[in-house]
Amino acid sequence: MSWEEHVRRVDPYIPGEQPKDKDIIKLNTNECPYPPSPAVLEAQKAYPYEAGRLYPDTEATELAESIAGFYHVPADQIFVGVGSDDVLSLAFLTLFNGGGEVLFPDITYSFYDVWASLYRIPYRQIPVDDDFRIHARDYYDAPGGVIIANPNAPTGVLESVDFVEDIVKHNPGTVVIVDEAYIDFGGTSALPLIDRYENLLVVQTCSKSRSLAGMRIGFAFGSKNIIRYLKDARFASNSYPMNGMQISLGAASFRDAAYFHEICGRVVQTRERSKEALRGLGFSFPDSKTNFIFAKHERLTGREIYEQLRNRRIYVRHWQKPRIEDHLRITIGTDDQMDTLFSALREIVETTA
Amino acid sequence: MSWEEHVRRVDPYIPGEQPKDKDIIKLNTNECPYPPSPAVLEAQKAYPYEAGRLYPDTEATELAESIAGFYHVPADQIFVGVGSDDVLSLAFLTLFNGGGEVLFPDITYSFYDVWASLYRIPYRQIPVDDDFRIHARDYYDAPGGVIIANPNAPTGVLESVDFVEDIVKHNPGTVVIVDEAYIDFGGTSALPLIDRYENLLVVQTCSKSRSLAGMRIGFAFGSKNIIRYLKDARFASNSYPMNGMQISLGAASFRDAAYFHEICGRVVQTRERSKEALRGLGFSFPDSKTNFIFAKHERLTGREIYEQLRNRRIYVRHWQKPRIEDHLRITIGTDDQMDTLFSALREIVETTA
The CA distance from B350 to the nearest CA of chain A, in Å, is: 33
Task: Name the pairing type of β-strands B78-81 and B218-222.
Answer: antiparallel
**Separation of alpha carbons A92 and B93, rounded Å:** 14
Position B290 pLDDT exceeds 80:
yes
The continuous run of DSSP H or E covering A318 comes out as none
The CA distance from B133 to the nearest CA of chain A, in Å, is: 27
ipTM here: 0.95
Which among B44, B229, B239 has CB closest to A49? B44
Strand ordering across the sheet containing B123-126: B78-81, B218-222, B200-205, B176-179, B145-149, B102-105, B123-126
Looking only at Cα atoms, what is the longest distance across chain A?
63
From first CA to last CA, the distance across chain B in angstroms is 58
Tell me whether residues B3 and A207 touch, CB distance under 8 A: no
- What's the DSSP call for residue B317? B
The CA distance from B233 to the nearest CA of chain A, in Å, is: 6
- Best residue of A20, A25, A54 to probe chain B, by most B CBs closer than 10 Å: A54
> What chain B residue is nearest to A110 in terms of C-alpha separation?
B236
Confidence of residue A19 (pLDDT cuts 50, 70, 90): confident
Number of cross-chain residue pairs from A and B with Cβ atoms under 8 Å apart: 279
For residue B6, the chain A residues in CB contact (below 8 A) are 95-98, 100, 144-145, 173-175
**Separation of alpha carbons A206 and A62, rounded Å:** 15
The CA distance from B112 to the nearest CA of chain A, in Å, is: 10
> What chain B residue is nearest to A146 in terms of C-alpha separation?
B3
- What's the DSSP call for residue B8? -
The CA distance from A113 to the nearest CA of chain B, in Å, is: 10
Domain ranges, ordered by start, for chain B = 23-35+258-351, 38-256
Tell me whether residues A86 and B9 touch, CB distance under 8 A: no
Helices (H) and strands (E) in chain B, counts: 10, 12
For residue B229, the chain A residues in CB contact (below 8 A) are 4, 7-9
Helix, strand, coil shares, percent, chain B, to 5 = 45, 15, 40
Sign of CA dihedral B169, B171, B175, B178: negative
Position A1 pLDDT exceeds 80:
no
For residue A213, the chain B residues in CB contact (below 8 A) are 52-56, 240
For residue B200, the chain A residues in CB contact (below 8 A) are none
> What chain A residue is nearest to B250 in terms of C-alpha separation?
A52
**Separation of alpha carbons A181 and A152, rounded Å:** 9
Position B294 pLDDT exceeds 80:
yes
Tell me whether residues B238 and A57 touch, CB distance under 8 A: no
Tell me the fold of B38-256. Aspartate Aminotransferase; domain 2 (3.40.640)
Tell me whether residues A7 and B246 touch, CB distance under 8 A: no
Tell me whether residues A86 and B241 touch, CB distance under 8 A: yes
- What's the DSSP call for residue B184? G
Tell me whether residues A49 and B34 touch, CB distance under 8 A: no
pLDDT per residue over A206-228, tens digit each?
999 999 999 999 999 999 999 99
Tell me whether residues B8 and A53 touch, CB distance under 8 A: no
Are B236 and A11 within 8 A, CB to CB?
yes
Position B353 pLDDT exceeds 80:
no
- Residue of A253, A240, A293 whose CA lies nearest to A60: A240
**Separation of alpha carbons A234 and A122, rounded Å:** 22
Position B18 pLDDT exceeds 90:
no
Confidence of residue A20 (pLDDT cuts 50, 70, 90): confident
pLDDT per residue over A152-203, tens digit each?
999 999 999 999 999 999 999 999 999 999 999 999 999 999 999 999 999 9
- Residue of A329, A251, A215, A213 whose CA lies nearest to A59: A251
Position B1 pLDDT exceeds 90:
no
pLDDT per residue over B129-162, tens digit each?
999 999 999 999 999 999 999 999 999 999 999 9
The continuous run of DSSP H or E covering A147 comes out as strand A145-149
Q: Which CATH number is A54-255 given?
A: 3.40.640.10
Position A353 pLDDT exceeds 80:
no
The CA distance from A351 to the nearest CA of chain B, in Å, is: 33
Task: Name the pairing type of β-strands B25-27 and A123-126.
Answer: unpaired
- Residue of B187, B89, B31 whose CA lies nearest to A234: B89
Task: Name the pairing type of β-strands A314-316 and A25-27.
Answer: parallel
Position B14 pLDDT exceeds 90:
no
Long-range contacts of A283-286 (CB under 8 A, 24+ apart): A285/A156, A285/A327, A286/A131, A286/A132, A286/A155, A286/A156, A286/A157
The CA distance from B226 to the nearest CA of chain A, in Å, is: 8
Tell me whether residues A6 and B95 touch, CB distance under 8 A: yes
Average pLDDT of span A124-139: 98
Query: Which CATH entry fits the domain spanning A16-35+258-351: 3.90.79.10, 3.20.20.70, 3.90.226.10, 3.90.1150.10?
Result: 3.90.1150.10
Cβ contacts of A135 within 8 Å, gap of 6 or more: A129
For residue B171, the chain A residues in CB contact (below 8 A) are 3
Q: What's the gap between Cα A264 and its chain centre?
A: 15
- Residue of B180, B176, B192 whose CA lies nearest to B226: B176
**Separation of alpha carbons A38 and A44, rounded Å:** 10
For residue B233, the chain A residues in CB contact (below 8 A) are 8, 10, 12, 118
pLDDT per residue over B74-100, tens digit each?
999 999 999 999 999 999 999 999 999
The CA distance from A76 to the nearest CA of chain B, in Å, is: 17
**Separation of alpha carbons A36 and A185, rounded Å:** 16
Tell me whether residues A49 and B40 touch, CB distance under 8 A: yes
**Separation of alpha carbons A251 and B253, rounded Å:** 25
Position B189 pLDDT exceeds 90:
yes
For residue B172, the chain A residues in CB contact (below 8 A) are 3
Position B19 pLDDT exceeds 90:
no
For residue B246, the chain A residues in CB contact (below 8 A) are 243, 245
Position B20 pLDDT exceeds 90:
no
> What chain B residue is nearest to A13 in terms of C-alpha separation?
B236
For residue A95, the chain B residues in CB contact (below 8 A) are 6-8
Residues pairing with B219 in the sheet: B80, B204
Q: What is the pLDDT of residue B289?
A: 97
Task: Supply angle C-alpha A126, A132, A137, rounded to 5.
Answer: 45
Position B253 pLDDT exceeds 90:
yes
Tell me whether residues B214 and A10 touch, CB distance under 8 A: no
The CA distance from B147 to the nearest CA of chain A, in Å, is: 14
Query: Which CATH entry fits the domain spanning B23-35+258-351: 2.40.128.20, 2.40.10.170, 3.90.1150.10, 3.40.50.300?
Result: 3.90.1150.10
Helices A244-255 and A257-280, packing angle to 10 deg: 80
**Separation of alpha carbons B146 and B168, rounded Å:** 9
**Separation of alpha carbons A121 and A113, rounded Å:** 9
